[in-house]
Chains A and B, each alone.
Chain A
Amino acid sequence: MDTNVVRKLQRIVGKGNVRTNKEMLITHGFDGTLPEYLPEAVVFATTTEQVARIMEVAQAHGIPVTPRGAATNLSGGTLPVAGGIVLSLTKMNQILAIDTDNLYCHVEAGVVNQDLQDALAGTGYYFPPDPASMKVCTIGGNIAECAGGPRCLKLGVTRDYILGLEVVWPDGRVSTLGGESAGDQDLDLIRLLVGSEGMLGIITKAWLRLKPLPEAKRTMLAVFDQVEDASQTVSDIIAKGIIPLTLEFMDTLLINCAEDYAHIGLPRDAGAILIIEVDGYEGELDRQVETIRQMCRDNRARDFQLARSEEEVNELWTARRVVIGAVARKKPAYSLQDVTVPRSNFPKIAKTVLEVGEKYDLDVGILAHAGDGNLHPLVLFDARNQEEVKLVEKAEADICKAALALGGTLSGEHGIGILKKPFLKWQLSPKAMELVIEIKKTIDPNNILNPGKMVEVS
């Protein structure tokens, strides 16, 4: 990078916060996906003003900027594909206010999701969006990708918890949208920004909605021999008018990977398991548990357990959260997809995913937030094996096409980034594509902010 530019950046954030050494460039050139790129500089901002001035410098010199939180995203959203500056928000990690009387908190974008949860522990309130990466991921990243997690069917997604945003636009202008309470009724720029993958603006602060903790919760584990039976149970529970807090699905491949790591006694020979939770007032939960138990029985569940302690609940959830990492024991690489279908089509897509695995003779597993029809098919492979890589690409394409054919969408929570960019035209009509590109060009005419993601703008 031009030393003149480096100096300008140093003057904004201080010398220590502009790094150009190889180690920094490499560690900030990859994310939760496989590809790697090399930026020209990694810049750490500590204030909104700094972010704004960095964008001004970037504009003046035509340097691409890739905003970055913890970079746990699974679509390549934080890869600096065009080089340039990686702008890290991780040092903007202050929780500015927690106001439980008024049901909101005010945070900087670099606050780690778990840190916010911890700060709220004991207050009687919580921030529901809990993506599996919550121990590491940042609120800014959660907003940019509209992160989901296992509780979305009942509690919604990140978008549903945004009261206000502070954003730095690509030209360095700063806006405050919304605030600590309520919302305007004109064009919804907040909802446009949520899930915009760091392409329209850099989120620097957010006002987030808090929820009071429910009185009680019940956690259940249901074990099935057949994937179809587990899938059908999902539909049946919802058809009964129950809105479970979570309804997580794991098939045999993943059960075994999770058990290899966590050793909690998950049934290795099961076809699929469901982790089911309901929450609410204490008095209303027993009947729901019974209804769910009945639904499981009706669908040939071979075992049904109600967790009896906090410990048992935590064990189950640890197993669930580590499962993606745990697959590394089987094969060194995995393809993780994020297709979502209308829930009634969940059994069909689950079946298709496994058939695709058989077709290409690949190890395939399914992890799903079954209640919202959001699947994470995992295809395991060795990235050094070029043959396998080609087959994996075919498998991914087949799965995406199958999901779309069932009225689904390419991504329920991970975003398009670069991984799903080639498939986008299968889902978006030409008009929709045109609008996406025009919106991007309108807000970022010089294509400075996170270029190369989602669509080709040129």
Chain B
Amino acid sequence: MERRIPLEQSKIKASLAEIVGEENVLSEEGAILVCPISNEEIGRILQRADQDGFQVAVIGGGSTGNRTTPHHVKISLTRMNKILELDRDNMVAVVQAGMITADFQEELLAQGLYFPPDPLSRRKSTLGANVATRAYGPTIMSHGETVDFLLGLTAVLPDGKIFSPGGKNYKDVTAFDLNRIFGGSHGRLGIITQLIFRLLPKPEVFRTLVLNLPTMKEAAEIAAILTSQGIIPGKLEVLDGTILSQLENRRPQKMSSQGVVLIEVEGYQESIDHQVDLIQTALGGQGKALEEIAPDEAGELWQAREELAWFMYHPHGQMYSFAIKPTLLPATVEIIKEAGQAMGQPLGLVIHGTAGRLHPICFAPMDEDKLQVLTQDLTDKITELGGRPLKTQLNLENHEEKELITSLLKVFDPKGILAG
């Protein structure tokens, strides 16, 4: 439902300034950006939106690009970025949705606590956005995605009401899951302002291992072997040379080949060597190439590849997401390589864990037709192999559940105040 801004921008800015203060209403790329500090302010903004007939879109850290159009009012939670409560007895944190993921994780580690979900974009992405987009990273197999840690939240609903489903309870099946339904809601059900996450104790030891393989296919094989042997390390990621080369001179020397497998094991002092041995044994001959990274270097390695998040959501490129069984990863890698060759443009590839989620990325801006061909090619061949394209956004075009999802969105936002 398209809503035009019947009032002039200046009038809207003025009414927003009344709510949040003039200094917190900005212009950005022709749109109005407002930075509230409380649930109440957001409630008033949404009620204003209803009265004055404009749409609102919440934005996160901007790591996936900005899909809102100029006539929306954008809400940024940049001023709502703190840990409100760290409850060690219950191993939960109550945190504002605008906090940057990496900041949250690092604050917790400093206190002996661990929040594993670590999307590549963690230095830019907010926790609220990670819930709204069901973000995940290389801990996906061992620990799960961000929403797996969600126990409760607070959201401001389109009618301005403040809604707090869930709580600190580790198990809660009362009524429907009004808390986790915000997972994957992409800002369309309400504006998430606070999250209650369960936490883990910080593992005693972390060790980073890297394998440099001559080809991406061989790297994918390593990942598949580990999974089929029941080895699920804390972090596992497979990156190809094409995407790593985008880092240019910031590319770590220890990630120099065409197919890099990055592993982090975590756990108790007594058993960490054993974990490494298990990996080595599972890999047989290739285990010899397993290199352990010194602790002070390890941090840099993981951090270097975070820059790749920019390329994954590159405004001029195209990122795909597919799901496929881990044992079929090597064959899928071949398909992607061939598709790139057919385009005359190598595709970058990131595989998170062996959850079977992989992201082929096309860097070069291509015209619509060529892009269509590539999309069809990848989709057809990967589907034929047994995989399927994943929906990463709340895009209802051609969606099998279009009617159902539309009607659920209407339950929360009957007036269409929130834009995706």
Contact = CB atoms under 8 A, between A and B. Distances in A.
Given A102-B327, A239-B89, A243-B201, A435 B169 contact: no
B400 to A, nearest CB: 7
A341 to B, nearest CB: 7
A111 to B, nearest CB: 21
B408 A187 contact: yes
Q: Is chain B's binding surface mostly helix, strand, loop or mixed?
A: loop
A335 to B, nearest CB: 18
Contacts of B326: 101-103, 181
Given A175-B400, A183-B390, A235-B89, A412 B175 contact: no
A412 B325 contact: no
Given A102-B326, A124-B230, A443 B404 contact: yes
Interface string B389-419: 0111111000111001101111110000000
Interface string A427-452: 11101100110111011000000000
A412 B173 contact: yes
Interface stretch (B10-18, B268-276, B370-378): B268-276
A234 B214 CA distance: 51
A434 B176 CA distance: 12
A171 to B, nearest CB: 10
Contact of B174 (A102, A187, A424): A424
A340 B135 CA distance: 28
Interface in A214-262: 235, 238-239, 241-243
B91 interface: yes
Interface string A176-219: 01011111111111011011100010000000000011000000
A191 B180 contact: yes
Given A175-B400, A212-B232, A438-B411, A182 B170 contact: no
Contact of B184 (A157, A188, A440): A188
A99 interface: yes
A152 interface: yes
B185 interface: yes
Contacts of B355: 181-182
B258 to A, nearest CB: 24
Interface in A398-436: 407-416, 420, 424, 427-429, 431-432, 435-436
A454 B175 contact: yes
B174 A284 contact: no
A451 B211 CA distance: 56
Given A175-B401, A181-B326, A432-B178, A373 B408 contact: no
A59 interface: no
A243 B201 CA distance: 8
B90 A183 contact: no
B330 interface: no
A195 B200 CA distance: 25
B172 interface: yes
B408 A179 contact: no
A248 to B, nearest CB: 14
A429 B185 CA distance: 21
Contact of B173 (A146, A153, A169, A369): A146
A184 B232 CA distance: 21
B227 interface: yes
B219 interface: no
Interface string A280-296: 11111001000000000
B233 interface: no
B227 A281 contact: no
A99 B228 CA distance: 9
A128 interface: no
A145 interface: yes
A344 interface: yes
Interface residues on A, range: 35 or more
A374 interface: yes
A186 B130 CA distance: 12
Contact of B169 (A180, A182, A407): A407
B1 to A, nearest CB: 17
Given A179-B388, A183-B134, A283-B271, A241 B89 contact: no
A374 B258 CA distance: 50
Contact of A195 (B92, B173, B231): B173
Contact of B271 (A188, A212, A280, A435): A280
Nearest to A235: B89
Of B147, B178, B327, B394, most A-chain CB atoms within 10 Å: B178
Nearest to B91: A238
A182 B181 contact: no
A232 to B, nearest CB: 11
A284 B268 contact: yes
B169 A125 contact: no
Contacts of A332: none
A455 to B, nearest CB: 8
Interface stretch (B160-168, B245-253, B293-301): B160-168
B111 to A, nearest CB: 12
B135 to A, nearest CB: 8
A396 interface: no
A189 B274 CA distance: 40
Contacts of A191: 147, 177, 180-181, 183
B356 interface: yes
A215 B410 CA distance: 49
Contacts of B171: 148, 152, 157, 340, 369, 372-374, 409, 412-413
A181 to B, nearest CB: 4
B325 A243 contact: no
Contacts of A188: 134, 147, 180-181, 183-184
A160 interface: yes
A299 interface: no
B85 to A, nearest CB: 12
Contacts of B157: 431
Given A152-B171, A182-B356, A413-B171, A439 B408 contact: yes
Contacts of B170: 152-153, 340, 343, 372-374, 412
* List of 10 A-B pairs having minimum Cβ-Cβ separation, nearest first: A212-B230, A182-B323, A241-B201, A181-B356, A412-B171, A281-B271, A101-B228, A284-B268, A344-B89, A342-B168
29 contacts: A148-B171, A152-B170, A181-B355, A182-B324, A183-B134, A192-B176, A212-B231, A238-B91, A239-B89, A280-B267, A281-B267, A281-B270, A340-B171, A344-B89, A369-B171, A372-B171, A373-B169, A409-B169, A412-B171, A413-B173, A416-B173, A431-B163, A432-B165, A435-B176, A435-B411, A435-B412, A443-B407, A454-B175, A455-B175
Interface of B: 87-92, 112, 133-135, 144-145, 147-148, 157, 161, 163-165, 167-178, 180-181, 183-186, 188, 200-202, 227-228, 230-232, 267-268, 270-271, 274-275, 321, 323-327, 355-357, 388, 390-395, 399-401, 404-405, 407-412
Interface of A: 99-104, 124-125, 145-146, 148, 152-153, 156-157, 160, 169, 175, 177, 179-189, 191-192, 194-196, 200, 212-213, 235, 238-239, 241-243, 280-284, 287, 340-344, 369, 372-374, 407-416, 420, 424, 427-429, 431-432, 435-436, 438-440, 442-443, 454-455
Given A152-B171, A180-B325, A241-B201, 8 more contacts: A102-B326, A156-B148, A189-B405, A191-B183, A192-B176, A284-B271, A343-B90, A435-B412
